[in-house]
Amino acid sequence: MNLETPCLVVDEAIMKRNIARMAEVAAKNGCKLRPHTKTHKIPAIARLQVAAGADGITVAKVGEAEVMAEQGLSDIFIAYPVIGTGKIARVLALNRRIRLIVGVDSIAGATALSEAALADGQTIEVRLEVDTGMHRTGVGYEQALEFAKTLAGFSGIRLTGIFTFKGLIYEGKATLDREKAGLEEGRLLVDLAEKLRQAGIAIRDVSVGSTPTAAYAAQVPGVTEIRPGTYVFNDTMLANLGVCSPEDCALSVLTTVVSRAADYAVVDGGNKTFSTDAAQGVFPYYLKGYGRTVGDDQLILERLSEEHGIVSILPGAGEIRVGDVLAIIPNHVCTTVNLHDKLYLRRDGRIVGEAAIAGRGKVS
């Protein structure tokens, strides 16, 4: 099968191995796995994760939850505040069909959810998001106990867990000590859960962990669930961090050389094909260009226009001509997948199918 480039290709065996390994991490530590599906946004892959042992999935958006529920996923955590009457109505509709859990981090959000659920005769399961250093959503760690007490008093919602995303590595502040980071993340939330229980709040789920930290966070007694996402495909960023090996990267972007100059080539993928959030300069120092060229580290995807990728040809690089196809492992696979409508599946070196990235564009 001749693929039109640029396009995404996923090696099925590598993906399945990644899925199995993370399931094993959870199993051997006796905690649950609820993978974040924002990386692939494909119901069929989410079902593979569940079949391999995941206890449900995580999404960021109500629209993603809807797509996943339509395709048979029946236990979904929207790890994001649900704000606005339209979104709350959609959450209530989903809650009738599947087990749904929703993130909460404000009194305003909790009040609106509570009132709508009560009016509809429903109860929505919620988890309190706690900020452990990422400084985005989540109530402050020191304020969490008071907040949880208030939440516990609401009708129409039932507080069953707490969660956090520490995300230090993705913010470029990596100490590279993933073990320390994961253990700290887990202990912070387990300690908090204990405090809440002592105050009479029945916290069942303690949910932490990203791909770099999940294996360590899972070891902390009291952590009940990990929520890694990127591990399903892995990417150049994770390989450079040592979280995976280059051979564990399941997804590559196929591009065609469309132009040649003396010391560079141009491929048919620019910043509408490769994401730019994980770029050298603004991001971890160890990134060189916008991805890693499979089989030739002297070909660096160094500069992107919208539809042009300028590949610097360093000394020692192989011959490269107009028409050649380069496979490039993107720096950040989640945001790169988000630029595409579909991906191709490769088995034993052959393309065996394609999958629509059904949750892509379901931004609200």
Residue selected from 22, 304, 320, 333 as contacting its own copies according to rule CB under 8 A: 304
212 with 140: CB under 8 angstroms?
no
Least spacing, CB of residue 236 vs its own copies, in Å: 17
- Per-residue binder mask for its own copies (CB under 8 A), 26-45, x = binder: ------------x-------
Quick one: 29 or 210, whose CB is closer to its own copies?
210
Which helix (H) or strand (E) segment holds residue 147: the answer is helix 144-152
State which of positions 96-125 bind its own copies (CB under 8 A): 105-106, 108-109, 112
> Which amino acid is located at 67 in the chain?
V
Q: What is the CA radius of gyration of the chain?
A: 21
Q: How far is CA 123 from CA 47, 84, 94, 184, 358, in A?
A: 26, 18, 12, 33, 29
User: Is beta strand 251-260 parallel, antiparallel or unpaired with respect to 264-267?
Assistant: antiparallel
- Per-residue binder mask for its own copies (CB under 8 A), 146-185, x = binder: ---------------------x--x---------------
**DSSP one-letter code for 283:** B
Residue selected from 142, 200, 261, 295 as contacting its own copies according to rule CB under 8 A: 261
338 with 350: CB under 8 angstroms?
no
- Per-residue binder mask for its own copies (CB under 8 A), 178-217, x = binder: ----------------------------------------
Least spacing, CB of residue 81 vs its own copies, in Å: 4
Q: How many residues does the chain have?
A: 364
Quick one: 32 or 362, whose CB is closer to its own copies?
362
Neighbours of 89 (CB within 10 A): 13
Query: Of 18, 56, 17, whose CA–CA distance to 36 is shortest?
Result: 56
| Total residues in contact with its own copies, by rule CB under 8 A | 66
Q: Is 319 in the site for its own copies (CB under 8 A)?
A: no
Q: Is 136 in the site for its own copies (CB under 8 A)?
A: yes
71 with 43: CB under 8 angstroms?
yes
* Separation CA 79–CA 100 (nearest Å): 11
Q: Is 340 in the site for its own copies (CB under 8 A)?
A: yes
Q: Is 338 in the site for its own copies (CB under 8 A)?
A: yes
Q: Is 238 in the site for its own copies (CB under 8 A)?
A: no
* Separation CA 104–CA 81 (nearest Å): 5
Tokens of 134: 């990422």
Residues 6+ apart with CB under 8 A from 2: none
Least spacing, CB of residue 54 vs its own copies, in Å: 20
Least spacing, CB of residue 172 vs its own copies, in Å: 11
Dihedral over alpha carbons 83, 86, 91, 92 (to 10 degrees): 120
Q: Is 25 in the site for its own copies (CB under 8 A)?
A: no
Site for its own copies, rule CB under 8 A = 2, 4-7, 38, 60-61, 80-81, 83-87, 105-106, 108-109, 112, 131, 135-138, 140, 167, 170, 256-261, 264, 266, 268-269, 271-273, 275-277, 279, 281-282, 303-308, 310, 321-323, 334-335, 338-341, 361, 363-364
